[in-house]
């Protein structure tokens, strides 16, 4: 009898460690700021000792750190760098198979280049007594704060203006400025505008010296002119060279100069002849005094993309514990289009049988992402027909 029990234990353990879990998040290519990185993966059994979560700086994990995690979620504080990660179960002190490998990056905006200005709507906002913005504090070490002393010209905060993230809202007559010079070599911003005529996102606070524009919109396209500081081959809209920016959409603009330029002053939503002030919002505005490399440009673009429009995440695999009624799968709000494997084109899809389901979405910047989820009904052996399904509270004749 003892030999039988030992065989069953060993056999059961072998079945568990022969399995491998699948990863949920972060997705491959994800970029975030330094701090807590949230890891999540699918559980394969409730009888584990723990999981090994391993991170390394290369896909062979020759240099790595292994964490013992009790559960299928963990948050780890990480410094700047590119990381590879994987997970495996441990049963009776015996490690199982590793999952697939993913990679992500952690960055520090303050050290990735010569940071000149960093404005974020989720920090550094100083409000007056009427909840209007009197100052937007610079997140760099330069204290290049943008202010507005005239109450009537102060913008406001929309606390959930872009996929639940705060933005600074301009109404076509607002402006924030700093009258001091600033050196601009590289530029990144996230904005949305509703103007039907030419509009200025950023530029000189006044005067007509050239260059006078940082980001002008002319005829629904980023304007390239001697008045503006960036050349045609140095500007990217949502990581593409297509400079068309129709109104009522959100954009990530990245731009680089061959050599930095000394700009006389700087203003958000300035007014100039032939251009309206911005009617829309700005979520983030970043400047470097140097011309960043293409790899750094890509990291900052992806940081902004994943911050304001995270990829679709259907969550962990769903186990239906009782019968099989309809299960609602949700891709979440904040996307422009949805295409489910079921044929549904809405935020949610209902399924009524086990299987693997996926959805492809398009976000507010035009990027696509896809996620897959397994809907599982555990196997029960009660002598019932294998095709019998029933919901809680229902009856069946057998």
At 62-111, the pLDDT tens digits run 999 999 999 999 999 999 999 999 999 999 999 999 999 999 999 999 99
Residue 385 or residue 7, greater confidence: 385
Neighbours of 245 (CB within 10 A): 22
Q: Which residue matches tokens 């330029």? A: 261
- pLDDT at 4 (0 to 100): 35
95 pairs with which residues across the strands?
90
- Alpha helix ranges (H) inside the chain: 2-17, 109-112, 294-308
CA distance linking residue 215 with residue 160, whole number of Å: 24
- Res 135 pLDDT > 70: yes
Instruction: Name the DSSP letter for residue 130.
Output: T
Lowest mean pLDDT among 30-39, 143-152, 205-214: 205-214
Lowest mean pLDDT among 83-97, 145-159, 307-321, 371-385: 371-385
Query: Any idea what the Cα angle at residue 231 is, between residues 226 and 232, rounded to 5°?
Result: 115
CA distance linking residue 102 with residue 97, whole number of Å: 15
Residue 47 or residue 185, greater confidence: 185
- pLDDT at 274 (0 to 100): 86
235 pairs with which residues across the strands?
255
- pLDDT at 385 (0 to 100): 53
Burial letters 163-184, b for 16+ CB under 10 A, else e: bebbbbbbeeebbbbbeeebeb
Residue 161 or residue 17, greater confidence: 161
- pLDDT at 15 (0 to 100): 46
Percent of the chain with pLDDT strictly greater than 90? 80
Q: In whole angstroms, what separates CA 339 from the centre of its chain?
A: 20
- The model's pLDDT over 262-310, given as tens digits with 9 standing for 90+, comes to 999 999 999 888 899 999 999 999 999 999 999 999 999 999 999 999 9
Average pLDDT over residues 336-348: 98
Instruction: Name the DSSP letter for residue 9.
Output: H
- pLDDT at 81 (0 to 100): 98
- pLDDT at 320 (0 to 100): 72
CA distance linking residue 46 with residue 345, whole number of Å: 35
Joined together, the tokens standing for residue 195 give 């103007």
- The model's pLDDT over 236-252, given as tens digits with 9 standing for 90+, comes to 999 999 999 999 999 99
Residue 303's nearest CA partner among 139, 101, 104, 161 is 104
- pLDDT at 316 (0 to 100): 94
Domains along the chain with CATH numbers = 1-107 (2.60.40.10), 110-308 (2.60.120), 312-398 (2.60.40)
Helix (H, G, I), strand (E, B) or coil at 234: helix
- pLDDT band, residue 324 (cuts 50/70/90): low
């Amino acid at each position: 009898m003892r030999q039988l029990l030992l065989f069953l234990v060993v056999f059961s353990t072998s079945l568990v460690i022969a399995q491998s879990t699948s990863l949920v998040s972060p997705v491959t290519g994800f970029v975030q700021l330094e701090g807590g990185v949230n890891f999540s993966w699918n559980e394969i059994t409730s009888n584990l000792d723990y999981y090994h979560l391993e991170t390394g700086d290369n896909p062979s994990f020759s240099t790595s750190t292994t964490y013992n995690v009790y559960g299928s979620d963990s948050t780890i504080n990480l410094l700047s760098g590119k990381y590879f990660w994987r997970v495996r179960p441990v049963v009776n002190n015996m490690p199982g198979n590793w999952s697939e490998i993913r990679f992500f990056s952690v960055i520090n905006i303050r050290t990735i280049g010569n940071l000149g200005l960093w404005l974020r709507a989720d920090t550094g906002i100083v409000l007056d007594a009427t909840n209007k913005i009197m100052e937007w504090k610079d997140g760099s070490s330069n204290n290049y704060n943008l202010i507005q002393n005239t109450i009537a010209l102060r913008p406001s905060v929309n606390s959930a203006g872009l996929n639940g993230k705060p933005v600074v809202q301009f109404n076509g007559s607002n402006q924030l400025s700093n009258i001091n010079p600033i050196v601009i070599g590289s530029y990144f911003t996230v904005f949305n505008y509703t103007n039907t005529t030419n509009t200025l996102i950023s530029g000189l606070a006044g005067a007509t010296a050239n260059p006078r524009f940082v980001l002008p919109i002319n005829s629904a396209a980023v304007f390239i002119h001697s008045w503006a500081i960036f050349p045609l081959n140095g500007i990217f809209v949502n990581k593409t060279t297509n400079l068309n920016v129709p109104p009522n959409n959100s954009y990530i603009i990245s731009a680089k100069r061959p050599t930095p330029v000394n700009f006389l002053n700087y203003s958000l939503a300035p007014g100039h002849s032939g251009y309206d002030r911005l009617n829309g919002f700005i979520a983030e505005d970043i400047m470097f005094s140097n011309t960043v490399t293409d790899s750094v440009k890509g990291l900052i673009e992806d940081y902004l993309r994943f911050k304001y429009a995270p990829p679709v995440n259907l969550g962990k695999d769903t186990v239906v514990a009782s019968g099989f009624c309809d299960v609602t799968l949700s891709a979440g709000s904040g996307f422009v289009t949805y295409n489910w494997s079921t044929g549904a084109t809405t935020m949610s899809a209902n399924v009524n049988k086990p299987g693997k389901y996926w959805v492809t979405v398009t976000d507010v910047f035009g990027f696509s992402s896809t996620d897959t989820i397994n809907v599982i009904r555990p196997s029960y052996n009660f002598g019932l027909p294998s095709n019998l399904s029933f919901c809680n509270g229902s009856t069946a004749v057998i």
